[in-house]
Amino acid sequence: MNEVFWDKAQEIVSSAAEVKMKSLKACVFGFLVMAVGLATAELAVTNVTVAQRWPWENKVDIRYDVVCDDAAADIHVFFNGLDQDRQLAVKMLTLEGDGANGPVKAGSHHLVWDAGADLGTTFHAASFAVRIEALRGDALYLIIDLSGGPEAGAYPVSFAPSLPDPIPDEYKTTRMVFRYCPPGTFMMGSPVDELGRYNNEDLHLVTLTKPFYMGVFEVTQKQWELVMGNNPSIHKGDTRPVENVSYNDIRGSDDGARWPSHNRVDTVAFLGKLRQRCNLLIDLPTEAQWEYACRAGTTTALNSGKNLTNTSTCPNMAEVGRYTQNENDGKGGYNGYHTAVGSYLPNRWGLFDMHGNVWEWCLDWYTYSLGNEPCADPVGASTGSYRLMRGGRGGSNARDCRSASRDLPPTYRNFSCGFRLAFFPAGQ
C-alpha cells in the first residue's frame, strides 16, 4: 500500500465559487492510494498528484501512474471519497478522463473531478481523503459497502482477490459482493434428452464477449433496506433474499422499463439509488449472462456437474438450493419458501442459490423460443408483455430449478420474486 498526501490548504477566492463551495474553504485533500495485484502481474499506483485549478475553482486535476508488468492488462481504477472528520463517504460522480468510465492500461493518466458539482455546500470543511484502488480487469471480487444506509452520499467500492471462508453475514447484509465472470462461449438451453426439459429451452451456442461480475448472493432484505429504507418482503429475515419486488421496483417504470433500447434506470428505483451512490454500471443480468454464470462451465442440469434423478424429488438438487422437497433439512425457512442466502453449495465460481430459493428477475422480455442459431451478447426481444425470471424458488419442483429452466413471470409482486445483480466494467 502506498500513501500519497497533498496537504496544501487552498482558499477559494472567486465569489461565485465561494458561494457554491463555501464549505470547501481551507480543506485538506488527502489521497490514500491502494494497489492490489492478482496472479503474477505486479500492479501499483504511483506518482499521484492532485491540484485544484488556478485561479481557484471547483475543478481538481488528478494525475497518477499505473505500473503493471502486463502491458496489455485492463486495469480498473476506483475512487472513493471520505470526509475523514465525520467518517462519511462522499460521492465522486463527476470524474472525467482516464479510468472514470472504463479500464486503463499501464502508463500515465489524468482525469478531472468537478468537486463543486459533487459536494455543493454540504461538505464538511475538514480533512477530505480519496482512496484510489486499482486492480486488474480479472480481479475476482468487487465489494460495495452499504453500511452508510439510505442516507449515505456514496457507497465505498473495493476489490479483493478472495473472500473469507466461511463467508460472514456482513457480506450478505452491509456489503454486496460480486464475482468476476470472464468472457466465453457456452451452450445455452438444454439437450432434448435432459430429464425435466421444457420445449422452450432451445439448445444453441452463445458467446459473451465482455467480462462482468455476478452477485455472489441474491440481494438480501437487509441490503434492500440499506438502499431503499424499507423492506417489502413477506417472509422476513436480514439474510434471506428480498422478495415481493417487481421488475419495476428494481429498475423503474419509466426509463427503467425500456430495456433493451437503453440501460438507463429511474432515479427512484432500487438500481437508480444504488448506481447514484457507487457510480458503477450495475444492473440485472440478461438471461444469457444469468445462465452462463449459473453454469460456470458445466453442461449438466445442475451447476454441480450433476443431473436430475427425478423431476420432483432429487437428492442432487437438495445439495445446491432450497426447493419444495428439502424445506425440512434443518437450514431454516418456511415450508415451500426461501431460506437464508448461502445455505447450500455454491457453483464452481462461488455463486450461491442459482438453483431455487427465489425466482430471479433478468433484463430480457420473455420469448418462448430461443432459436437454434449461434449468437453473441443476446439482449432478448425488443418488445414483449412479460419480463423473464430464472432459477426456480423454494416451492418449485426439481425440474423448475435447472440451469436451463425458464419461466413466464407474474406481472405482480409476490413472495417468490427476487433478484441478483451484475456489474459491467466494460459496459453492457
Residue 271, number of CB atoms within 10 A of its CB: 24
Whether 235 contacts 338, CB under 8 Å: yes
Which of 91, 119, 139 is where one domain is finished?
139
Residue 376, number of CB atoms within 10 A of its CB: 11
401 and 294 together in one domain: yes
Whether 388 contacts 298, CB under 8 Å: no
Q: What is the pLDDT of residues 159-217, one digit of tens each?
A: 888 999 999 999 999 999 999 998 999 999 999 999 999 999 999 999 999 889 999 99
33 and 178 together in one domain: no
**Cα–Cα distance for residue pair 154/131, rounded to 1 Å:** 13
What mean pLDDT is reported for the chain? Answer: 83
Cell numbers at 67, concatenated:
505500473
Q: pTM for the whole thing? A: 0.78
By the 10 Å C-beta count (0-12 exposed, 13-18 middle, 19+ buried), 151 is classed as exposed
Query: Which H or E run contains 128?
Result: strand 127-136
419 and 330 together in one domain: yes
Residue 66 domain flag: yes
What pLDDT shows up at residue 295?
Answer: 97
Residue 161 domain flag: no
Residue 327 domain flag: yes
What pLDDT shows up at residue 83?
Answer: 65
What pLDDT shows up at residue 363?
Answer: 96
For the chain, what percent of residues have pLDDT higher than 90?
59
Residue 396 domain flag: yes
134 and 176 together in one domain: no
CATH number at residue 321: 3.90.1580.10
Q: What is the pLDDT of residues 215-257, one digit of tens each?
A: 999 999 999 999 999 999 999 999 999 999 999 999 999 999 9
Q: Give which of 322, 340, 330, 337 is closest to 172, Cα–Cα.
A: 340
**Cα–Cα distance for residue pair 47/153, rounded to 1 Å:** 28
Residue 67 domain flag: yes
Domain that holds residue 246: 170-423
pLDDT category at 26 given cuts 50, 70, 90 is very low
Query: Which H or E run contains 5?
Result: strand 2-5
**Cα–Cα distance for residue pair 308/312, rounded to 1 Å:** 9
**Cα–Cα distance for residue pair 297/122, rounded to 1 Å:** 49
Domain total of the chain? 2
Which of 117, 139, 161 is where one domain is finished?
139
